[in-house]
Amino acid sequence: MISLKDIGKACIIALWFVALTFPLMVIKVNPIDRIIIWRWHNMLWVGLGSFLCYLAGRAWLMRREIRLRRIRQGLEAELPQRTPLSRRIIQDPVIHRPLLAAGALFFLIFPLLFSTYQTNIMITALMYVVLGLGLNIVVGVAGLLDLGYVAFYAVGAYAYALLNLHFGLGFWTVLPIGGLLAATFGILLGFPVLRLRGDYLAIVTLGFGEIIRLILENWNEFSHGPSGISNIPRPGFFGIQMSLDHSITYLYYLMIAMVVFTIFVVNRLQNSRIGRAWFALREDEIACQAMGIDKTRTKLTAFALGAFWAGMVGVIFAAKTTFVNPASFTFLESAIILCIVVLGGMGSIVGVIIAALVLILLPEYLRAFSEYRMLVFGAVLVIMMVFRPQGIIANIRKTYRIGID
């Protein structure tokens, strides 16, 4: 039951939300008439909504704790009745095949159902799906907090822009080159940070990302500085000339193929020997090294493979926008990709895909809320992290429970 202490805490949270949103929800400046409009009713709605949401969330958490306690008590009562050395295998979550088929069909016919504008937005979402899966290798599976992931993204984009500008190389030639260049930078980043972990690793990778951005912004002879590089050609198909709409549709199906390929490779990597080494590194680095796992090679492999996907997506980004400049590769991009991994569930492939689609598409489709759309977007993230901190789909590894009479 809800106690008086919970009600008091709800009042404090309501007041905090009112103070936090006061400049946005209550004050409205009319620059034409030079007047300020005070919307006091919004303050009432924010306070009341925060108060009720906290109480509802608290009630839900209490019910979940009671349910988990009953389940735990039931398992403890059941344990002595098991046969000696009985094994219970908990399998990974499985998506129902009809739902998977329906989702695949929807994405295949998406350009036929929606406009070119919507298709372009979906291409961006699919790009972030691949970026999220790439960072998921580093952060979600290997447990290495990387805040400079956007640097590898920038390496791929500028690789295509510069190689096309100076040597006339096409998209399909540069696509693997961009990935390999980004993987090389990932290894170069990995060597200095082999002994670092946690917050220290995050600070170093953040600095690496900023160094790359500042080099691209200030080295005019190399990267054309803040002006960027324009007129980057779009992906071709056996030399066929395509209109803008057909080019966007072609790029959409190219991203669908890239997502499928990435899911296949990442899934195989997680279930391989190196994948199990990454999980061991994430859980306990000292125990991992004590078991004979080469910590240096494991970390460098994670950085290189994660950077490889970012580099290839960077090439696709340059081909999609036909223009790149350093402003597209700020820390905010790394933060968004990291949010995708955390919100989806550390190490979960399906969760990362869902989170990428939600985080990229939600702000776009909340434009109807005008200036409130980012407020609603932030509230959704906060509520998600409060009520499901393990992510949308938590990654459940196979475990064995042994009961002995």
Domains, the chain, ranges and CATH?
Answer: 4-81 (no CATH), 108-387 (1.10.3470)
For residue 402, name the pLDDT band (cuts at 50, 70, 90). low
**Helix, strand, coil fractions of the chain, as percent rounded to 5:** 75, 5, 20
pLDDT 10s digits, 204-235: 888 888 999 999 999 888 888 888 898 888 88
In this prediction, residues 299-318 reach a mean pLDDT of 92
What confidence score (pLDDT) does residue 89 get? Answer: 36
pLDDT at 339: 87
Identify the DSSP state of 109.
S
Over 60: is that where the pLDDT of 183 sits?
A: yes
For 74-103, the pLDDT digits (tens) are 765 554 544 443 333 333 444 466 777 887
Instruction: Give the pLDDT of residue 31.
Output: 79
Adjacent-strand bridge partners of 29: 36
More confident call, 401 vs 157:
157
Higher pLDDT, 242 or 306: 306
Q: Which two tokens stand for residue 178?
A: 């961009």
Please state, in angstroms and rounded to a whole number, the distance separating the CA atoms of residues 296 and 84.
Answer: 41
Per-residue pLDDT of 227-249, as tens digits, reads: 889 888 888 777 777 777 888 89
Percent of the chain with pLDDT over 70: 89
Longest dimension (CA), the chain: 82
- What percentage of the chain exceeds 90 in pLDDT? 21
What does the pLDDT look like over 331-381, one tens digit per residue?
888 888 988 888 888 888 888 898 888 888 887 877 766 666 667 777 777
* pLDDT at residue number 313: 94
Task: Give the pLDDT confidence of 118-140 residue by residue, as tens digits.
Answer: 899 999 999 999 999 999 998 88
Q: What is the mean pLDDT of the chain?
A: 82
In angstroms, the Cα distances linking 114 to 126, 128, 216, 362, 395 are 16, 20, 37, 17, 33
> Once rounded to an integer, what is the mean pLDDT over residues 269-275?
86
Q: pLDDT band for position 201 (50/70/90)?
A: confident
Q: How far apart are CA 145 and CA 54, in angstroms?
A: 31
pTM exceeds 0.75, yes or no:
yes
Taking only the tens place, the pLDDT of each residue in 46-85 is 888 888 888 887 787 788 788 878 877 776 555 454 444 3
Q: What is the pLDDT of residue 314?
A: 93
Residue 88 has what pLDDT? Answer: 38
Taking alpha carbons only, the member of 252, 386, 10, 308 closest to residue 131 is 308
Give me the pLDDT at residue 399, please.
Answer: 54
